[in-house]
Amino acid sequence: MASGASAEHLCGFLGLPGVAFLRRGTVVRAAERRQLASPGVRRRAPASRRRERSTRTLVQEFSRRGQDAIDSRVPELVEEVDPGIVPGVSLRIVRYPHRVLRAPNEPVTVFDDALLKLVRDMFKVMYASRGVGLAAPQVGINKRVMVFNPKGDPRAWLSEVALVNPRIIERSEATEEGMEGCLSFPGVSGDIERSLMIKVEAMKPNGKRFQVKYQGWTARIFQHEYDHLDGVLFIDRMKPAVREQNRGALENLMRQVPESERAL
């Protein structure tokens, strides 16, 4: 993802002046005229050429910085059976019908470095799996923790949300059906009815308590992940006809999980 970014994009991402320099350099090159030096005389490069070289150096430097910044946030994607495998991260996506997805999830009582690491690793696994949300039980941790990013892009890190011990304190009567999928249900999708607005009370990973309202797409993501914390799966909310359409995919998933690991 990072390797394909242009120098102009990277400079803009970092808020650096590389874009302006790059554009000016382009204009200068288009306006240059070819000049021949006299035999035996070493001419100093024209001012426009010197500016162009300086521009190239700046853009290369900004590109390097931008690449480093993105690489620090974007985990390497390993294309294996499990697309959520991230080097250096032990968490793995748990697939239906594993019993951990139905098990009770305990509230978090200790806010320490271990919790911060869990949140960071959950984001890495979520991005590597190309998801927009992930709940702790989906990676085998039965704690009331969730992370999501409505944009699904690690470069849009300002949109990242990590919630601990969340609870819904208000929801709109208005609802809407929308297509959903789930990282624990590869190949399964369908329309699910959700509230258009919800008000949430939760804690940040540092233990600070707060309230927030989510609407539309963000509210849908939250409700999906919140269900996981209560042991509710999105197939539980599917209409019978929609679930029937996914019967083949669900049966295939069941064959992949040993009976000893399935929910009762």
Give the Cα separation of 94 and 220 in Å (integer). Answer: 21
Find the catalytic residue in 225, 244, 259, 261.
225
- Which run of H or E residues covers position 201? strand 197-203
Residue-by-residue DSSP string for 136-200: GGGGT--BSEEEE-TT--TT-GGG-EEEEEEEEEEE-S-EEEEEEE-TTSTT-EEEEEEESEEEE
Is residue 251 part of the annotated active site? The answer reads no
Tokens of residue 149, six digits = 């990013």
**3-state helix vs strand vs coil in the chain, percent to 5:** 40, 20, 40
Give the Cα separation of 169 and 174 in Å (integer). Answer: 16
Output the CA torsion sign for 85, 1, 137, 234: negative
DSSP structure class, residue 81: S
Instruction: List, by residue number, the catalytic residues.
Output: 225
